[in-house]
């Protein structure tokens, strides 16, 4: 499919970063506006090259990392949709293209080139914005990458960016006092003596964060009147009646349209039932309850979802190609996408072991609603379910739980 379309050149050598003072200057106003505080731990004597691993909650993350690495050169790994219509610019400032949740050895080579040139390799290993301000799944390959590069490993964990501009409610909520901690967790000599499993354990330990807990602990008030808008995208299942896909949100209210129960989101990010029991006042607890329900479906072999869909392909940075209607299936075998393009049928499969997680979008580009995007090494497919009740959040949770269940079963044999 799309054999006549030129693909993005993933093997092109990354350029050394240009315009560093200008980029830093463009980031400065937002850093001042949100009174961002950067704390450095164990960074004495640490100079490029090094591997910088950052958590990912909002676009503000990039601005903080620009401040944290200034004045040194850095190359950022960026998803292919970030290059659309501005490929020349992102390449000029040193960005490296990646298709999300693919095992691409070319990226390893690119990062090696960066550190061999004496620069900083910046990676957002969660590979998507956090859905509710808590840690997303991290790949086991991080430990191997760190040991292969043989440079210091530094983490940059930002707090306040999710509650300021959640993935499901993007307008700036005007949070003041955001913070970030930049920490060297391995120097090369220590890394050499540490096995991959321990490196992964340490990285995961450093990546434990909870933006809503941070908000409450620091007494951060958010007066934004529409702070609950879009929250139903994440909290798609009612804990009162158990119904899925019938939640809605507006202003400060989250509502189940099936049973009518309502919750108010207060200025400190907590939920309160307007009547009866408050099942979950901490938003990540509700999200993890949904995960547990998905896990039970999978353990019982019952998880299955099929729908009609519209599909856009992104083989390069020139723009999307409409592939028309298709059928999407997500079940115990993984993802399957079937359709026909220009009279030629296609049948694409992503088996469970191939995806430890997946990328989703809410109201993507204001076009056709929510979507899941699935990738091969040469193509990216944006898949919009149609004419059905659904939640791409549940698909993301199911992808992670299917993979985890597969790994548990594999470990038994």
Convert the pLDDT of each residue in 333-391 to its tens digit: 999 999 999 999 999 999 999 999 999 999 998 889 999 999 999 999 999 999 999 99
Q: Report the 3 state secondary structure along the chain.
A: CCCCCCCCCCCCCCCCCCCHHHHHHHHHHHHHHCCCEEEEECCCCCCCCEEEEECCCCCHHHHHHHHHHCCCCEEEEEEHHHHCCCHHHHHHCCCEEECCCCCCHHHHHHHHHHHHCCCEEEECCCCCCCCCCECCCCCCHHHHHHHHHCCCEEEEEEECHHHHCCCCCCCCCCCCCCEEEEEEEECHHHHHCCCHHHHHHHHHHHCCCEHHHHHHHCCCCCCCCCCCCCHHHCCCECCCCCCECCEEEECCEEEECCCCCEEEECCCCEEEECCCCCCCCEHHHHHHHHHHHHHHHHHCCCCEEEEEEEEEECCCCCCCEEEEEEEEEEECCEEEEEEEECCEEEEEEEEHHHCCCCEEECCHHHCCCCEEEEECCCCEEEEEEECCCCCHHHHHHHHHHHHHHHHHHHHCC
Rounded to two decimals, what is the model's pTM? 0.95
Q: 67-70 long-range contacts, Cβ below 8 Å, gap at least 24?
A: 67/24, 67/27, 67/28, 67/31, 67/36, 67/38, 68/38, 68/40, 68/156, 68/180, 68/182, 69/120, 69/122, 70/20, 70/24
Q: What is the pLDDT of residues 293-308, one digit of tens each?
A: 999 999 999 999 999 9
Question: How high is the pLDDT of residue 347?
Answer: 97
The confidence score (pLDDT) of residue 11 equals 87
Regions of the chain short of the pLDDT cut 70 = none
What is the pLDDT at residue 162?
A: 98
> CA-to-CA distance for 377 and 107, rounded, in angstroms?
11
Please give the Cα distance from 164 to 177 (Å, whole number).
10
Provide the residue ranges of all domains of the chain, joining segments of one domain with +. 20-217, 231-298, 303-411
Q: Does domain 303-411 have CATH number 3.90.1150.10?
A: no
Residue 18 is predicted with a pLDDT of 76
Backbone angles phi, psi at 377, to 5 degrees: -70, -20
Between CA 293 and CA 303 the distance in angstroms is 10
Q: How far, in Å, are 155, 326, 337, 367, 390 from residue 308 at the CA level?
A: 41, 6, 10, 17, 11
- Rounded Cα gap, residues 291 and 200, in angstroms: 23
* Closest by CA position to 88, among listed 9, 23, 20: 9
Identify which of 207, 19, 29, 34 has the alpha carbon closest to the alpha carbon of residue 127: 207
């Amino acid at each position: 499919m799309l054999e006549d379309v030129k693909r993005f050149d993933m093997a092109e050598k990354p350029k050394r970063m240009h315009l560093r003072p200008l980029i830093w200057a463009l980031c400065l106003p937002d850093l001042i506006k949100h009174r961002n505080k950067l704390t450095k731990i164990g960074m004495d004597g640490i100079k490029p090259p090094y591997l910088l691993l950052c958590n990912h909650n909002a676009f503000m993350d990039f601005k903080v990392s620009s401040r944290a690495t200034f004045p040194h050169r850095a190359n950022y790994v960026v998803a292919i949709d970030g290059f659309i219509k501005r490929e020349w610019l992102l390449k000029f400032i040193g960005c490296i293209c990646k298709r999300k949740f693919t095992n691409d050895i070319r990226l390893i080579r690119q990062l090696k080139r960066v550190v061999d040139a004496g620069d900083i390799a910046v990676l957002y290993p969660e590979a998507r914005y956090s859905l509710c301000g808590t840690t997303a799944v991290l790949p086991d390959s991080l430990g191997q990458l760190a040991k292969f590069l043989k440079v210091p490993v530094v983490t940059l964990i930002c707090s306040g960016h999710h509650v300021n501009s959640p993935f499901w409610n993007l307008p700036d909520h005007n949070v003041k006092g955001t913070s970030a901690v930049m920490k060297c967790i391995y120097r090369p000599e220590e890394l050499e003596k540490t096995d991959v499993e321990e490196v992964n354990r340490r990285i995961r330990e450093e990546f434990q964060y909870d933006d809503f807990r941070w908000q409450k602990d620091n007494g951060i008030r958010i007066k934004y009147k529409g702070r609950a808008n879009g929250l139903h995208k994440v909290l798609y299942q009612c804990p009162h009646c158990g119904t899925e896909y019938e939640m809605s949100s507006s202003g400060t209210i989250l509502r189940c349209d099936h049973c009518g129960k309502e919750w108010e989101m207060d200025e400190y990010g907590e939920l309160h039932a307007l009547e009866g029991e408050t099942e979950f006042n901490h938003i990540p607890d509700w999200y993890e309850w949904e995960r547990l329900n998905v896990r039970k479906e999978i353990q019982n072999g019952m998880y299955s979802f099929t729908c009609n869909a519209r599909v856009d392909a992104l083989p390069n940075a020139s723009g999307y190609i409409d592939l028309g209607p298709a059928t999407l299936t997500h079940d115990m075998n993984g993802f399957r996408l079937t359709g026909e393009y220009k009279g030629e049928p296609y049948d694409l499969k992503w088996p469970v072991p191939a995806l430890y997680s997946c990328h989703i979008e809410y109201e993507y580009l204001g076009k056709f609603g929510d979507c899941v995007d699935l990738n091969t090494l040469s193509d990216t497919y944006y898949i919009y379910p149609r004419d059905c009740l659904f939640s791409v959040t549940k698909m993301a949770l199911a992808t992670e739980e299917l993979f985890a269940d597969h790994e548990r079963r594999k470990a038994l044999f």
